Amino acid sequence: MIPDTLLPSPQDEEVENLHPEIDPLDERAAVDPALFEDMRAEPVFARAVLTSPLHLAVAAESRTNNWTVWNGFTTPATLTDLGDEYRALRGAAALMDISPLVKYRIAGRDARPFLDRLVTRDLGALEVDRALHVVFCEGNGFVLGDGLLFRLDDDEYRLVTEETHLAWLLDSAVGFRVRIEDVSATLAVLSLQGPLAALCLAEAGVANIAELLPFAARWTEIAGMPAYVSRTGASGDLGYEIWIDPDDAPHAWRFLLEKSGPYGLTPAGFDLRELARLETGFPRAGKDYLSAFAAIDAADARTPFDLWVEPLVDFGKPLFNGREALRRLVLVEPRRRVVPLVVDGLEPARFAAVHANGRLAGTATSIGFSPALAANIALATVDAAALAASDLAVRAERREGVSVREIVLPARVLTEPAWNNPRRLAIPAPLKA
């Protein structure tokens, strides 16, 4: 008996006759190369594992093969060694690929009114080629996200955020003549931070870089490729961000390393960015606070007053999202606050729980060992009532070999950022360390 599978299936014959005009034995027949292209249509958002346009250039610098994920993008945690990278950042300059940031282009004749209603801050002072740190809230005054808002042209803006907000932006766009595009995939970003950042750019041929004001930006050329350079970056020090076409970005990366390598420019990974951010005390959306829509427990949603000492809320504007709620919230003391902590102890420790008077009073959401302070630092969400307590402490885990020991380390609220160099705002930017 012959198994069914060995019999020619009736369908095969039909297939053979489908294209009688094609002779499969004709070797000289003209072939359309398009036939051999991968035609599987890929939905734009179907891909879950994303790589930055700089991925191969960055991967070439990796000595650790230590990768992490940032907004779905494969990102180096460290490229060489966190200590080396840190020394470069604080002593010379570090170059990081921050393309995984979410970038929106907001353009149209109503772009300004749209943004005026979207963000809590007054945008009157935002000139073309300038950037502002903005916060946007939902109707109850809870923060959805924060980011950097660039004004590229009279009616064109770029909003750079940590998390995606497209749905909220589109919902908010109803009634405005405004176009909102997610340009994350078509715009690569390099972050060049450190005391020698201006020098590195000058070496790469960027003219008059020292004259660029803090939070200002301008178009320039790097190795003949157009690039938009802004004096921004959350490192607490001099720093620039380079906004560039994704096709040009790997060349710019290599060019910068080649030209400025001798001055100590070092490629660095995501861990360094997090450490620098922690030393400056900037909370990160999704890590130190939850977007109001992501906070399942309403107590996890934060108001701008909980998050920032200068919360960038301008009640002079007649209308913005959350205005009425924030007017009420500004009158009451925040219940919880996000504060920077410094924790005693001379070696890196892992901790999350923050105690006051022996009772749980909060959670450290970002932790790290700050070489600048030679201490553990953290950003923690702490009950406002507990902030005044004298005996703030964290429960830390200390690993010894494979065993773990729980120890209580005293903590203090940090009044000054761990790193805030006046170079950050110096005019003109220093070209020497």
Partner 1 sequence: MAWGGRKYDAIVIGGGHNGLVAAACLGRAHRRVLLVEARDRLGGAAATAEILPGYRVSAVAHLLEGFPRRLERELKLGKHGLRYAARNIPTVALDRDGKHLLLPRSRKEFSAFAAHLPKDAVAYRDYISRLQTQAALVAPLFAEAPPKPGDAEALRQLLRRLVWRAELGGGATLRRLMRILPESIGDLLDAEFESPLLKGALAFDATLGGSEGPYAPGTAFRAVCREAMRMQGQGVRLPQGGMGSVVDALAAAVSAQRGEIRLGARVARILVEDGVAAGVEMEDGFIVRAPLVVSSAGPRNTLLELLGAARLETGPAMQLRAPAPGGTSAKVNLALEGAPQFAGLAPELHGARLVISPSLEELGHANAACREGDFASDPVMEVTIPSMSDGTLAPAGHHVLSVLVHHVPYDIEGGWPARREAFVQRVVRTLEHYAPGIGDLMIAGEILTPPDIETKYGLAGGDWHQGDVRLDRLFGFRPAPAFGRYGTPVPGLYLCGAGSHPGGGVTGLPGFLAAEVIAAETSVKRTSVGQLDEREPA
Query: Which residues lie near partner 1 (CB under 8 A)?
Result: 110, 113-114, 117-118, 138-139, 168, 171-172, 174-176, 318-324
- Give the 3-state secondary structure of residue 51: strand
Looking at beta carbons only, is 165 or 424 nearer to partner 1? 165
What is the rounded distance in angstroms from the CA atom of residue 257 to the CA atom of residue 238? 18
Read off φ and ψ for residue 279, nearest 5 degrees: -65, -30
Write b or e for each residue in 365-388: b if 16 or more Cβ atoms lie within 10 A of its Cβ, otherwise e.
bbbbbbbbeebbbbbbbbbeebbe
Minimum CB–partner distance for residue 174 and partner 1 (Å): 5
Looking at beta carbons only, is 328 or 335 nearer to partner 1? 328
- Give me the residue label for tokens 């790997």: 250
Minimum CB–partner distance for residue 175 and partner 1 (Å): 3
Looking at beta carbons only, is 263 or 293 nearer to partner 1? 293
CA angle centred on 188, ends 133 and 126, rounded to 5°: 25
- Please, where are the H alpha helices in 178-336? 197-203, 249-260, 270-280, 304-307, 323-329
Write b or e for each residue in 14-34: b if 16 or more Cβ atoms lie within 10 A of its Cβ, otherwise e.
eeeeeeeeeeeeeeeeeeeee
Minimum CB–partner distance for residue 398 and partner 1 (Å): 47
Minimum CB–partner distance for residue 113 and partner 1 (Å): 6
Looking at beta carbons only, is 175 or 428 nearer to partner 1? 175
Looking at beta carbons only, is 324 or 406 nearer to partner 1? 324
Minimum CB–partner distance for residue 142 and partner 1 (Å): 11
Minimum CB–partner distance for residue 330 and partner 1 (Å): 17
Neighbours of 162 (CB within 10 A): 19
Minimum CB–partner distance for residue 124 and partner 1 (Å): 17
Looking at beta carbons only, is 72 or 113 nearer to partner 1? 113
What the block records as the tokens of 134 is 């903005």
Looking at beta carbons only, is 83 or 139 nearer to partner 1? 139
